[in-house]
Amino acid sequence: MILHLRAKPNARQTQLLRAPDGTLTVRLQAPPQEGQANAVLLAFLATVFAVPKSRVLLLSGHTAPFKKLEIEGVSEEDGQRILAARLA
């Protein structure tokens, strides 16, 4: 599954949200320094999709707020179902 989302570091807690325009946003309880926010993002998404951290790959957006990630071993249908349940 490929995910496109916006990461917002320095939040009070790590959480997954859907913006009014339908885009995914992940607020991260980590600073955007030395890859800390990216590490928290990968670990959080691994928990959300119930996969090992090694199966969550950051494809692009290493230093940008807009990220493209791959969740290996999760089909598009299963991923959308998991997101719908998480965001409900």
Structural domain including 65 reads 2-87
Based on the structure, what is the number of domains in the chain? 1
Domain harbouring 47, CATH code: 3.30.1200.10
- What are the tens digits of pLDDT across the range 28-53? 999 999 999 999 999 999 999 999 99
Rounded to the nearest 5 degrees, what angle is found at the Cα of 63, between the Cα atoms of 37 and 85? 50
Closest CA to 26 of 45, 43, 7: 7
Mean pLDDT of the chain, nearest integer: 95
The length of the chain is 88
Distance CA 66, CA 75 (A): 22
Residue 22 has pLDDT above 90, yes or no: no
